[in-house]
Amino acid sequence: MPRYPLLSLFRSGGLVTALFLSIIGAHGQAPVPHQLFDHVVVVNEAALHSDILANAELRMRLVQLVPNAAGDAIDLSVPLDLELFPDVRYTVQLRPDQRSALAGLEVWKGRVGDARFDHLPRYVNTVFVLNRGTGRLVANIETEKGFFQVLPVAGTGLYRVRHCKPFDGTQCRVAMPQGRSRGGGGTGVPSLCDGACREVDPQGRYVVDVFAGYSPGAALLAGDVEAHAQANIETVNTGLANSQVDTLFLRLVGTGVGGENPGIVTSVLDDGWDWFAPQIEALAPDLIALFQTPTNDPGSAGGWGSMPGRATVNGVEWPTVFRHEAGHNSGGNHCFPDNENYRNGWDNTHWRTHMCGNDVNFYSTPLLQDDLGNAIGHPDQADMARNWNEMAFTMATYGMHRVPFFAGDTCIGLPCLPEHWGGPIEYISHVRFNELDNWQTDPAWNCPMAIGYSDYTDLSTEVAAGSTHQLLVESTTSWDESTLRAWIDWDGNGAFAPDEVVLDQSGHGPWATQVTVPADAASGPVRLRIRLQYGLDQPADPCSGSGYSSGESEDYTVVVTGVQTAVDGQVYAPEGNLAAYPNPTFGQATLEVPPNVQGSCMLYIRDLAGRCVRSVRSTPRSGRIHVDMAQLPAGSYTCELHHAGGLLVARLLKR
């Protein structure tokens, strides 16, 4: 049995009875439910008091879990008797959720009696999340008697059964999109546009990955951060399933505790990306859900959500706030005409869906009726089910997933698909980098599933570590307020980091710069992303668009060949580059040699694998060295010129 060294308590009985009845149940009759919660009376209950939690409660009481498996563990597979309060008692048979969860988390779902939903066979109103790592659980049970949450009380082994106040739209505020978002996403340069890697699970449902970040104070009240976060995710998933939305679901990819606690204010929607930056880069979530404890800061609410967007901030004391704020992230507003279209919740005066009243576990849909036969949505004014279905692709591809969907998932680690908003006005029309030269006869984007995105990753150029090449970009049109940025994912981790910006200019094009390949760049193919957009409000982001005309993003492949190895195996760092022309060549080429290179030199020509395919001794004449590649097969070669003062390198493409 758990021990509570700092508390003296009286158990109200029930354990002995429950075990006895369980034994009878083993003999063939209908199994007798296991009484899971045992009320405890804590003498020093004031020590466990939380004003913050109490503010969102109608009442509460403390219970302990009654183990029913070896090692004082909990087995949720048997019929359970849930006595939440003396007047709130249910039996339930939970079923394990088949979707994968974070290691150690078990998600169990079921349905306790509530006659209002008897006509809806798929309805679920009970979710248990058991954290095998900590032995703790978080449960949500929603019936006509109210919303009940069972939360661990940190440091005690006890649980708080909460009869919660409703969280309706009056405690919520909506934040308009701020244009700020972060990349997350990939390695190598597989195509993002060929359909081979979509953000769907094996059943074809879009997976919207969520990272949950808690302030230390919020984590304490959550009792078990991972179980609490997963339970919050499931408030959305059960709402979607109840509303017959099967195109997507939310998946928890990680949790974190840290950052500050300014409260439930809009600055958190921005600052959360910084507080949890390492986890966000590693996990590439589509959405971040921040949990805070309330403060009296100006602008405080019970919850804030970007609409549409990727961040929410949620008062940790409200168990139904996240399903509402997540609806804002999908683009939904409260009640018509808050959005002058179907992206709203619905109040049919009997049931109120998540966005518009939030007292039943549904998103609005005209396809379902309440127990009086009235629709819980309207085709023109309240159809959040349609909105979720339409937003599934966008929400799932904010960050290309880095946590595998299943064992052997080879689609992990891709970079984000760039988003563009607004009308198609300016297009990138010409890109040149080293031997890559893409004049576009049709400059419009070529990826039908992503507005403003062109996939040219089948075009590549090879560059040696330490070498320098010009990057040139032209567009169909440009303005004083045009912004042109480019990134090369030098470390090959699939994310475009701030120190991987290789071109950052504004104003009229064309735009050009010299790009030096870092000496420590990852060998092999890495991605070059070029982005053109209008607007100087914020620097162009590799993933997220500005609010103006759409612009365009294009991806290419850059193959980094690494520092070349000399004949004797010694590694030389090239001191600079040779200009070579024509390039590509059909056989004959000329190297431009700097004036300090004099006397006899050795020229080594290497293939892509670094093998020396030709070596000739040569002496520059008039600053030039002649190269004959006529006998070599078509392909890419490195010319190393070893001279008295060092080593120079040129890349040559043989047609």
**Beta strand pairing status for 501-506 and 482-488?**
antiparallel
**Nearest to 209, CA basis, from 331, 357, 326, 49:** 326
Chain position carrying tokens 């439910």: 33
**Distance from C-alpha of 205 to C-alpha of 15, rounded to nearest angstrom:** 43
Question: Smallest gap, in angstroms, from Cβ of residue 26 to Zn ion?
Answer: 49
Who's near 403: CB < 8 A, 6+ residues apart? 209, 251, 253, 254, 283, 284, 412
Nearby residues of 633 by Cβ (< 8 Å), 6 or more positions away: 654
CB of 265 to Zn ion, least distance (A): 15
Site for Zn ion in 178-197 (CB under 5 A): none
- Nearer to Zn ion among residue 169 and residue 319 (C-beta): 169
CB of residue 32 vs Zn ion: minimum separation in angstroms? 43
Nearer Cβ to Zn ion (257/355):
355
CB 284 within 8 A of CB 209: yes
State the pairing for strand pair 588-592/482-488.
unpaired
Stretch that binds Zn ion, among 100-108, 161-169, 471-479, 579-587 (CB under 5 A): 161-169
Select from 165-173, 195-203, 482-490, 612-620 the region that touches Zn ion (CB under 5 A).
165-173
Name residues contacting Zn ion, limited to 210-229 (CB under 5 A).
Answer: none
Query: Which residue lies nearer to Zn ion by CB, 235 or 549?
Result: 235
Stretch that binds Zn ion, among 164-172, 363-371, 441-449, 511-519 (CB under 5 A): 164-172
Q: Determine the interface stretch with Zn ion among 27-35, 168-176, 473-481, 616-624 (rule: CB under 5 A).
A: 168-176
The residue whose Cβ lies closest to Zn ion is 172
Minimum separation from the CB atom of position 507 to Zn ion (A):
40
**Quick one: 207 or 356, whose CB is closer to Zn ion?**
356
Sheet strands side by side (includes 311-315): 172-175, 303-306, 311-315, 287-292, 206-214, 248-257
Answer positive or negative: Cα dihedral of 4, 5, 6, 7: positive
Q: Quick count: other Cβ atoms within 10 Å of Cβ 145?
A: 16
Distance of closest approach, residue 172 Cβ to Zn ion, in angstroms: 3
Residues 34-63, interacting with Zn ion (CB under 5 A): none
167-175, 188-196, 468-476, 566-574 -> range binding Zn ion (CB under 5 A): 167-175
Complex with Zn ion: residue 306 or 483, whichever CB lies closer: 306
Contact 166, 147 (CB under 8 A): yes
Nearer to Zn ion, 152 or 169 (CB): 169
306 vs 533, beta carbon nearer Zn ion: 306
Among the residue ranges 79-87, 170-178, 381-389, 496-504, the one whose residues contact Zn ion (CB under 5 A): 170-178
With vertex at residue 255, the alpha carbon angle to CA 250 and CA 259, rounded to the nearest 5 degrees, is 125
Which residues, numbered 234-273, are part of the site for Zn ion (CB under 5 A)?
Answer: none
Nearer to Zn ion by Cβ, of 125 and 339: the residue is 339
Q: What is the DSSP string of 35-97?
A: E-EEEEEETTGGGG--HHHHHTEEEEEEEEE---BGGGB--TTS-EEEEEETTEEEEE--EE-
Residue 301 binds Zn ion (CB under 5 A): no
Segment contacting Zn ion by CB under 5 A, of 15-23, 172-180, 210-218, 501-509: 172-180
Beta-bridge partner residues of 255: 212
Minimum CB–partner distance for residue 334 and Zn ion (Å): 6
Q: What is the largest CA-CA distance in the chain?
A: 102
Cα separation, 211 vs 289, whole angstroms: 6
| Smallest gap from residue 180 Cβ to Zn ion (A) | 20
Nearer to Zn ion, 169 or 542 (CB): 169
- In this complex, which beta carbon is closest to Zn ion, that of residue 323 or of residue 485? 323
Q: Closest distance between Zn ion and the C-beta of residue 175, in Å? A: 10
For the bound state, the minimum distance from the C-beta of residue 232 to Zn ion, rounded and expressed in Å, comes to 16
Shortest distance, position 254 Cβ to Zn ion, whole Å: 25
Q: Which stretch binds Zn ion (CB under 5 A): 77-85, 166-174, 209-217, 647-655?
A: 166-174
Residue among 315, 246, 312, 258 at smallest CA distance from 285:
312
Return the beta strands (E) in 99-216 as ranges.
105-110, 126-131, 136-143, 146-152, 159-164, 172-175, 206-214
- The region of 162-170, 307-315, 494-502, 568-576 touching Zn ion under the rule CB under 5 A is 162-170
β-partners of residue 461 are 558
Q: Per rule CB under 5 A, is residue 172 in the interface with Zn ion?
A: yes
Structure tokens at 422: 């607004």
Residue placing its CB nearer to Zn ion in the complex, 100 or 178: 178
Alpha-carbon distance of 611 to 604, in angstroms, equals: 10
Nearer of residues 217 and 303 to Zn ion, judged by Cβ: 303
Site map 366..405 versus Zn ion, x via CB under 5 A: ----------------------------------------
Least distance to Zn ion, CB of residue 147, Å: 17
User: Which residue's CB is nearer to Zn ion, number 313 or number 495?
Assistant: 313
Site for Zn ion in 526-555 (CB under 5 A): none
8 A C-beta contact, residue 455 and residue 520: no
- How far apart, in whole angstroms, are the C-alpha atoms of residue 508 and residue 532? 11
DSSP reduced 3-state for 368: strand
Write down the least CB distance from residue 171 to Zn ion, Å.
8
* Minimum CB distance to Zn ion smaller for 172 or for 625: 172
| # residues near Zn ion by CB under 5 A | 2
Tell me the pairing of strands 206-214 and 248-257. Answer: parallel
Query: Please, what is the minimum distance in Å from the beta carbon of residue 331 to Zn ion?
Result: 12
CB 312, min distance to Zn ion, A = 10
- CB atoms under 10 Å from CB of 405, counted, come to 18
Q: Which residues are near Zn ion by CB under 5 A?
A: 169, 172
